[in-house]
Structure 1
């Protein structure tokens, strides 16, 4: 849904255009009329002049024209009365860009629901122009109680819709957009930040006595008294004596290197003092262990220990009955000094072990990068019937794989996203050339294929079971939309397992892959819904498209381009992205002759 909206928005606001010889007002007028073209004739005729008048008032400030245009994009069904009122208000204002911008922001802000307004004002705690990840915002909005639905998944869904709405209306703007057009993080511009900060302070949504470099770490409605000259380290130095922290629900310490050798006890102090915490992020900190007091946080719903040196055994005794998200692990490009890894080609995946009593943590919805030590671990995960997203590392043994398949079967009515990393292969973790499909043992079965699985990632290879084939069955009922194959065996037969999936729109091939041939071919009537193909496997030297294949493919990303043929047979193709400074002449010619004006990105 988000990717679709982002592509539509790009059509109006982001795509490169031919040089124009008329004013920006004319350009935005054309966009506005296109956005509102579905209105009935009388309203269209009446409003078209008002559109022009409003844009004329904003002529010296493109930001104001953009906000107005995005407001119409989000809600094109505006009444003539509403537009006339805005036009009259603008006419009566001094010709100051800041004043007009403020009025235009108020026009857009008024459209938001009460919940969405609170979520926007919440962004005032972050420094302006800081990149803020969508996942961080979603988790914090929900745990702060700004989005309240009947259950956590509904609240998360509502929060994601809120994020989309703020992007659509240009109240926040994209900071990081994935290759598929999904906004992964956002920023708040200067004018919007000033606008929301005034409103947030007036409505006491944010504390006026905390500077931005401190406020972003804590939940709102707190009673903290910190000087702007204080750092987060100073806060922890006084923590054991403080009585102001007992009501905090959020503690976000991402990238704070405050847990030096002498200060590892700070986290123990948190666990002793902040007993109402719901959200604790230690991502990217220099924490090296989890104290046993972590289990004092009975209200904790999100625990993020990604990109830390917390050893894999640190989570064995974790028991948090209200926990919903356990986020752990990271990938390092080279060996490290602590040993909690699964080798992945040239990289290492650092993980944590599945808690011994995971079966009691029945509210868990997300487990990322957890490592199964034994068969029982996998069985116990199968009892988590709220689990929507699972990232698991397991050993390539019959007993482990059998229990993995049993777990997937037990979760077949709830799991939406599944990432499987297999510890297997040669000495460097890459698959061996002899591991071909005819050597695969198929005695391991999947009793109940997952009904709701939308995202699948498989890293590593095994001769014991054809995981990709088992998880991509069920024909028209299969909901897989995104598949990632990493450090695995890539051959034409494997692609056939995916070719008929009715909803697959993203295919990513990456890592140190072994293949039986260097060319992959997309044949007629294959991949009917695929619109993004990303290839980051250097062993693939040729990609070919035949007539009638991948009819909806929009974008190709290939980081080791050598030979690409058949793009003239792709009627929806819009964008190509390659790495390197040389494009084969025949491909250049094909790009120039393509009936669409292809956007070409060259990465260094």
Structure 2
């Protein structure tokens, strides 16, 4: 039998075997399907052996014990590194963001970028994606309750993770705790922890209030990962205690009440990730520049549009390992942060907020890194003065994600030369027929967003948008041809003009998203051959015309079985 014949027979045989094995139970089917997807080279005879081992009495319907056997088989069949990453999932109550998870894996040393292991390897096994990013990557995940219960049990059995609180009743560990996940609870759980040997905790994750921690818990000497995201009752003395955890590699204080980073953070010589997003921290002390291993500094608050000021000492050429600078403020004047990033030759993502006049150093840095290492560039320019200068840059040829916010009237000429660009977000002020025509030539573009936040609504911005509409006779027509690989198109603004999609427009578009208070019209959806879903987010105070228009669109989609699914919800 030839290799192709074996492959064909395997593909034909596996679904039947899996269906019999799983007895029609959804969890068993999904788990075994993921297992099969990771073992496409396994012969049908081998699958038969698996079937006979797991279901010796094929005449009986599979029950919960059978599902447990399937889970156990899939777990034991995983490579060691993926099995370790799977056990780590029980640290989170049910599901969390992909980036948070992968950064934690990296900090613990379970994976490294060089070996190519990603969340996808585990996802195909045991987790379910619940939200995708604009370029199709898993943004957040969820674990089935029964799968999570199995993982918690395994993690406890192997003394890999100790979970306190939450939905799980776990016996206190008989030996030293290595990784502790405190998932909420009462005084009973606090007393349970006080009886544990916590001197060897190297990873501490908390959900809820810091008052649940036993005394001196933040004085663990060998903690490498401290994740307090969303914790309440954070006080400044907690920050001081954290600065004594000299082996820390990963520190997340996201969505806590911290408002100032102590100068002694410079003592954390092993720190790789500092996350202070959605906090009241608006500047970092100069001592942060002493951290020679730091790779990710994540700051800023999208909701309040506040950003993080970097220290002047960054000019001295330290922190050369930085890969991500996100939510950083660049302002002009002696009190402003530095704008020279030439020495950050490993920088892959730069997310900045600017205001004031032109910044020669910043322009030069972007130009230099854009041809060196920079893959993602996000610029939020309130004054729009810096945006006007971007056209003079040489092409940042390695960019695969670009976001420009502000009063963007003309597109930089080099945008159409970005051969690797997959994700593009622009201000609605750039929404013109000419801009769409130029952007339609980007062959690698996967996601395109035109966005305008409520904070950007001012008379000048409104005038620019109105002028753009007049130049297009009040109607935005997406050009035919072009946009060869675009799968996601989004318009996020208080007022969305009449949108029209002619024949042969957007040949691969799968999802269209609109968020608005007023929608003037939407025509030609039937011309989008691959369109699967239209998501309309309507402001709860939208006018009667807009509400009626949305209702008509949704009704027409329900009546036409061949039309894309239309999802309607509200926002405030």
- Taking structure 1 as the reference length, what is the TM-score of the superposition? 0.75
Which of the numbers 204, 225, 241 marks the counterpart of 1:250? 225
Q: What is the aligned partner in structure 1 of residue 363 from structure 2?
A: 405
Q: CA deviation at 1:591?
A: 4.9
Q: CA deviation at 1:501?
A: 1.1
When residues 52 and 569 of structure 1 are mapped into structure 2, their CA distance, relative to the original with a 3 A threshold, is closer
Q: What is the aligned partner in structure 2 of residue 26 from structure 1?
A: none
Cα distance in 2 for partners of 1:588, 1:39 equals: 50
Q: The residue matched to 1:350 in structure 2 has which SS?
A: coil
1:522-552 Cα deviation digits (max 9, x unpaired): 1122322211111112332211122332222
Question: 5 Å matches for 1:429-448?
Answer: 445-447=392-394
Cα distance in 2 for partners of 1:145, 1:54 equals: 35
Q: What is the aligned partner in structure 2 of residue 108 from structure 1?
A: 74
Q: The residue matched to 1:290 in structure 2 has which SS?
A: coil
Question: 5 Å matches for 1:301-340?
Answer: 301-310=272-281, 312-319=282-289, 320-332=291-303
Q: What is the aligned partner in structure 1 of residue 396 from structure 2?
A: 450
* 1:77 is aligned to 2:41: yes
Q: What is the aligned partner in structure 2 of residue 393 from structure 1?
A: 353
1:20-46 Cα deviation digits (max 9, x unpaired): xxxxxxxxxxxxxxxxxx995566557
When residues 397 and 492 of structure 1 are mapped into structure 2, their CA distance, relative to the original with a 3 A threshold, is farther
**What is the aligned residue count?**
508
Q: What is the aligned partner in structure 1 of residue 484 from structure 2?
A: 528
Cα distance in 1 for partners of 2:285, 2:520 equals: 45
When residues 446 and 322 of structure 1 are mapped into structure 2, their CA distance, relative to the original with a 3 A threshold, is same
1:366-406 Cα deviation digits (max 9, x unpaired): 000111134895542122010000001122413x2x33321
* 1:472 is aligned to 2:438: no
* Higher deviation after alignment, 180-189 or 478-487: 180-189
Cα distance in 2 for partners of 1:550, 1:124 equals: 42
Q: Determine if contact 1:383/1:410 at 8 Å carries over to the other structure.
A: no
Which of the numbers 300, 318, 332 marks the counterpart of 2:271? 300
When residues 361 and 180 of structure 1 are mapped into structure 2, their CA distance, relative to the original with a 3 A threshold, is closer
Q: CA deviation at 1:57?
A: 4.1
Cα distance in 1 for partners of 2:182, 2:221 equals: 21
CA RMSD of superposed structures (Å): 3.5
Q: Determine if contact 1:236/1:266 at 8 Å carries over to the other structure.
A: no
Q: Determine if contact 2:309/2:328 at 8 Å carries over to the other structure.
A: yes
Cα distance in 2 for partners of 1:527, 1:479 equals: 14
Q: Determine if contact 2:55/2:66 at 8 Å carries over to the other structure.
A: no
Q: Determine if contact 1:55/1:65 at 8 Å carries over to the other structure.
A: yes
Unaligned 5+ segments in structure 2 are: 163-171, 186-192, 539-546
When residues 496 and 256 of structure 1 are mapped into structure 2, their CA distance, relative to the original with a 3 A threshold, is same
Cα distance in 2 for partners of 1:532, 1:443 equals: 26
* 1:271 is aligned to 2:243: yes
* 1:562 is aligned to 2:520: yes
Q: CA deviation at 1:505?
A: 1.4
Unaligned 5+ segments in structure 1 are: 1-37, 333-347, 426-430, 432-439
Q: CA deviation at 1:165?
A: 2.1
Which of the numbers 323, 327, 352 marks the counterpart of 2:308? 352
Q: What is the aligned partner in structure 1 of residue 169 from structure 2?
A: none
